[in-house]
Chains A and B, each alone.
Chain A
Amino acid sequence: MSVYITSTGHHLPGEPVDNDRIEEVLGLVHGKPSRLKRRILQSNGIRTRHYAIDAEHRTTVSNGEMAALAGRDCLDRGYLPDARLDMLSVATSQGDLVLPGFGSMVQAELGLPSLELHTSHGICSSSMMALKAAYTAIRAGEHGNALVVASELASRLFKASRFEAAGATPDFDAEFLRWMLSDGAGALLLENRPRGLSLRIDWIRGVSHADAFPVCMSVGRPNGQGRHPSWQDYPTYAEAEADGALLIRQDVRLLDHLVKLGVDGLLGLIDEGRVRVDEVDHLLCHYSSHHFRGQIHDMLTQAGAAIPEEKWYTNLYTRGNTGCASLFIMLDEFRRTRELAEGETLLCFVPESGRFNNVYMHLTVVKEATS
């Protein structure tokens, strides 16, 4: 049974925010402009992004609502009525509530009746895990279709007040992601038949290396000098916050591993015969920063497996890094803005630094047979 992406959608909240206006929204920590901001923005290359909070730190649209808006956008562009949906598979890094699962909230927000539900948990790769769950369910013949939604509302973690609650000036690892991540949602509709020009999912493959490396990106863990290993071990949540355990952190020293593991995984897929580099027409890679694009490209070149730069597609620089939603938002814009021809192939790649999980996907443009 083949599986096709027959529709896509997205939601990016509010107006685009350029680099000069980031701190107008997120706020000045202890009233002072950041000294790291310029350097990190220069390195990641992002020029505009979207936030679901306003300058008064009010949430303008919740994570669940954003996911529903992207899902609705996708369904509106497709041919399937809500009542015929078999499955909803949803991903986020942090829902609006700790419990229940994010999928339940999104289903309710979309008003979708009686379907099978799946929520996947993680960071950037969680959307690909949600996608794979839906893909395998259709391949197995269990369902005929599935709506997959990925949504992120990271900006709430970056309010100046969060950093101020953790005391002194934030350390580099805690501030790094403030200039990287932003908000948005993307959605894909999967069916067991194509509609017009569709994207056939040839395969999805994940490779996780959590056993070999320490945590690289986290929420819930204080830095090295923290009093407890987890935010839930503190007597009160207020003490966990004061100890910096609720800040989102990236151990940037470990990021080089991500590039190597990404290249290693691709070389493995080449070995297996799943990828032929010269047959890839488009590469959609969720690199979090322009800096890594160069590193990945150099390492692939060294291995003689380079994919020419003109085949790389991204909208990172204008839509921002929206974590697990990034690849879906990218795929949606790619489909809407490109003239795709039957037989073209797309290689998608989502590396996750959380604890090193990489997911690859291969798509082929197919055309529905006309009778």
Chain B
Amino acid sequence: MSDKVTTSEGQACLQGLMRVWFDFERQLSRVPILQRLERDRFTDEDYRRLLCHLRQQVIEGARWITRGASSFERDFADVRSMVIEHAREEHRDYEMLEADYVAAGGERQTIVHAERNAGSEALHAFMMHRAGQPNPVDLIGAMWIIEGLGHKMADDWARRIDAALGGDGDATRFMRYHGANDDAHLDKLYALLDRVCRGEAERRAILRTARVVARLYALQLEEIDHEPA
């Protein structure tokens, strides 16, 4: 695994990112809806609410990635290409998520017209802001958290949700597909770390953005039990 990140700055950054991730996982473990999932108290309604709230950030995700791509100047043309490719692969993921919502018994109109919760608002605003900065290398920190979550959904959440709802995977396609695809994405992230993390300034920026995104993502999930679906 270590061969994926080869520079010492990249390694130091990866250590920091792993710690941010572990802390994020502990934050997730304290989120009420995820505690219900972990403790076999998860209902159909919980799943629909989860999808409804996730969708508002997933559908906006493509915006900050593409905005971020356009903020990379000529010296980062290779990075720009990688970010564009990433955006192209994911920009219609929300359609799969909406199909899952319908498969789980929801009305398409409900999820399409739902509003962003307070956490989604904050996460979206922060990402759009960061993506507009010149050469926003710290977006790797955001991608680290969001890709990691893709893995967690595929490896853990989807299985638990199917078990809780007695489903056969028909309503968890977004989570499963997203995770399966994210292996290759993580490899690209490792390569990006080596490419852009060249000193302490970059490392600090990447770790800070990862930390903020982790906190706001957790907030988005906490809000599920605060706001009406």
* Interface residues, chain A, with chain B CB atoms under 8 Å away: 209, 211-214, 224, 257, 260-261, 263-264, 267-268, 270-271, 298-299, 301-306
A172 to chain B, nearest CB (A): 14
B19 near A267 (CB under 8 angstroms)? yes
Indicate which residue in B2, B26, B39 contacts A302 across the interface (CB closer than 8 Å): B2
A303 contacts across to B, CB distance below 8 A? 11, 14-15, 18
A302 near B18 (CB under 8 angstroms)? yes
Across the two chains, which residue of chain B brings its CB closest to A257?
B25
A306 near B2 (CB under 8 angstroms)? yes
B36 to chain A, nearest CB (A): 11
A261 with B22, Cβ < 8 A, contacts A212-B29, A270-B15 known: yes
Across the two chains, which residue of chain A brings its CB closest to B5?
A304
A34 to chain B, nearest CB (A): 25
| Interface assignment of B60: CB less than 8 Å from any CB of chain A | no
Across the two chains, which residue of chain B brings its CB closest to A265?
B22
A302 with B1, Cβ < 8 A, contacts A212-B29, A214-B39 known: yes
B18 contacts across to A, CB distance below 8 A? 263-264, 267, 299, 302-303
Interface contacts (Cβ under 8 Å), in number, total: 49
Indicate which residue in B1, B22, B40 contacts A260 across the interface (CB closer than 8 Å): B22
B39 near A304 (CB under 8 angstroms)? no
Q: Offer 19 A-B interface pairs, CB within 8 angstroms, sorted by A.
A: A209-B26, A211-B30, A212-B27, A212-B29, A213-B26, A257-B25, A264-B19, A267-B18, A271-B19, A302-B1, A302-B2, A302-B4, A302-B18, A303-B11, A303-B18, A304-B2, A304-B11, A304-B12, A305-B15
| Interface assignment of B46: CB less than 8 Å from any CB of chain A | no
CA distance A267 to B12 in the complex (A): 10
| Interface assignment of B38: CB less than 8 Å from any CB of chain A | yes
CA distance A299 to B1 in the complex (A): 8
A224 near B40 (CB under 8 angstroms)? yes
A260 near B25 (CB under 8 angstroms)? yes
Which secondary structure dominates chain A's binding surface? helix
B122 to chain A, nearest CB (A): 22
B39 contacts across to A, CB distance below 8 A? 214
B22 near A263 (CB under 8 angstroms)? yes
B153 to chain A, nearest CB (A): 15
Across the two chains, which residue of chain B brings its CB closest to A306?
B2
CA distance A209 to B35 in the complex (A): 15
CA distance A263 to B39 in the complex (A): 25
A213 near B1 (CB under 8 angstroms)? no
CA distance A230 to B211 in the complex (A): 38
CA distance A304 to B27 in the complex (A): 25
B17 to chain A, nearest CB (A): 9
CA distance A212 to B35 in the complex (A): 9
Q: Mark B32-47, 1 if CB is under 8 A from A, else 0.
A: 0001001110000000
8 nearest CB pairs, A to B: A304-B11, A264-B22, A212-B26, A302-B1, A212-B29, A303-B15, A301-B2, A267-B19
CA distance A268 to B26 in the complex (A): 15
A264 contacts across to B, CB distance below 8 A? 18-19, 22-23
Most A C-beta atoms less than 10 A away, residue of B23, B26, B35: B26
Across the two chains, which residue of chain A brings its CB closest to B2?
A301
Indicate which residue in A257, A268, A304 contacts B19 across the interface (CB closer than 8 Å): A268
A260 contacts across to B, CB distance below 8 A? 22, 25
B1 contacts across to A, CB distance below 8 A? 298, 301-302
A306 contacts across to B, CB distance below 8 A? 2
A32 to chain B, nearest CB (A): 28
CA distance A223 to B29 in the complex (A): 20
A275 to chain B, nearest CB (A): 12
Across the two chains, which residue of chain B brings its CB closest to A224?
B40
CA distance A214 to B38 in the complex (A): 8
CA distance A153 to B38 in the complex (A): 31
A302-B14, A303-B15 given; name 14 further pairs at CB < 8 Å.
A212-B26, A212-B27, A214-B38, A214-B39, A264-B18, A267-B15, A271-B19, A298-B1, A301-B2, A302-B18, A304-B2, A304-B11, A304-B12, A305-B15
CA distance A214 to B35 in the complex (A): 9
Across the two chains, which residue of chain A brings its CB closest to B20?
A264
Most B C-beta atoms less than 10 A away, residue of A212, A214, A263, A301: A212
B88 to chain A, nearest CB (A): 28
B114 to chain A, nearest CB (A): 29
B15 contacts across to A, CB distance below 8 A? 267, 270, 303-305
A59 to chain B, nearest CB (A): 37
**Chain B stretch 133-191: residues in CB contact (< 8 A) with chain A:** none
A261 contacts across to B, CB distance below 8 A? 22
CA distance A267 to B1 in the complex (A): 17
A354 to chain B, nearest CB (A): 16
A212 contacts across to B, CB distance below 8 A? 26-27, 29-30
B39 to chain A, nearest CB (A): 6
B11 contacts across to A, CB distance below 8 A? 303-304
B25 contacts across to A, CB distance below 8 A? 257, 260
Most B C-beta atoms less than 10 A away, residue of A209, A213, A304: A304
A225 to chain B, nearest CB (A): 10
Across the two chains, which residue of chain A brings its CB closest to B27?
A212
A295 to chain B, nearest CB (A): 12
A263 contacts across to B, CB distance below 8 A? 18, 22
Across the two chains, which residue of chain A brings its CB closest to B19?
A267
Across the two chains, which residue of chain B brings its CB closest to A260?
B22
B26 contacts across to A, CB distance below 8 A? 209, 212-213
Across the two chains, which residue of chain A brings its CB closest to B40?
A224
